[in-house]
Amino acid sequence: MAATGRSGTRPGPAGSGNGDGVAEILERLNLTRHEEVVAAFSDDEEEITRGDAEWAIIGKVLSPSVLHITTIRSAMKSALGNPFGLKMRSVGDKPENLFIAEFGGLQDKNRALDGSPWMLWVRILNLPFGWMNEKRGLRAAALIGDVIKLDVDEDGKATGAFLRARVAVEIDTLRRLG
């Protein structure tokens, strides 16, 4: 069987000359005027406009489930009183449930942080079967905050894999726990 070309080399692009290295090919590369523009970036640049960092907070949803940012946003908008200019985005790995909330102004950010207590729906997981009722569920939920409502049926029993409760939590307590 006859072989074509040199042994151990691959044919390159037309006109590249077989056997040329990457450096030689790049030397013959012709750029247009638009392609010659260099975009240089530096970490020293002042790009942050007033408010981007000052009016933002980072948060974490403590949940065994990964939550989508739209779920977090809808819950937080109502909990924060639908502040003007609220923008939220996920940060970090999805399982971490981290988000950044950027507010339209310092007043909205401060109201969110100082607006204690926060009313939250919480899921209490891995309760013994005998604790999945109103009497004992209230005791378990009270360990988190002031219980506003417990999600139980008319017989006072919780259904499902967890006990759901709405609790009022002081924001400083959340900061210490988180």
For residue 68, give its domain range.
Answer: 51-115
166: its two tokens: 């709405």
CB-facing half-sphere around the CA of 2: CA atoms within 13 A: 2
Confidence of residue 177 (pLDDT cuts 50, 70, 90): very low
24 within a domain of the structure (yes/no): no
What is the number of residues in the chain?
178
Confidence of residue 18 (pLDDT cuts 50, 70, 90): low
Rounded to an integer, the average pLDDT of 133-146 is 92
Clarify whether residues 124 and 168 are in a common domain: yes
What region, left, alpha or beta, does residue 141 occupy, with left being phi > 0 and alpha being psi -120 to 50 degrees?
A: alpha
64 within a domain of the structure (yes/no): yes
Query: What would the pLDDT profile of 77-136 be if each residue is shown by its tens digit?
Result: 877 777 888 899 998 887 788 889 898 888 888 887 776 667 788 888 888 888 899 999
Rounded to an integer, the average pLDDT of 62-78 is 84
Is the distance from CB of 102 to CB of 52 less than 8 angstroms? Answer: yes
d(Cα 145, Cα 166) in Å, to the nearest integer? 9
Confidence of residue 173 (pLDDT cuts 50, 70, 90): low
User: What CATH number has the domain bearing residue 64?
Assistant: 3.30.70.330
Q: In this prediction, what percent of the chain has a pLDDT beyond 70?
A: 77
Q: Which ranges constitute the DSSP H helices of 15-123? A: 22-27, 69-79, 106-114
Q: In this prediction, what percent of the chain has a pLDDT beyond 90?
A: 17
Handedness of CA 57, 174, 169, 157 (dihedral sign): positive
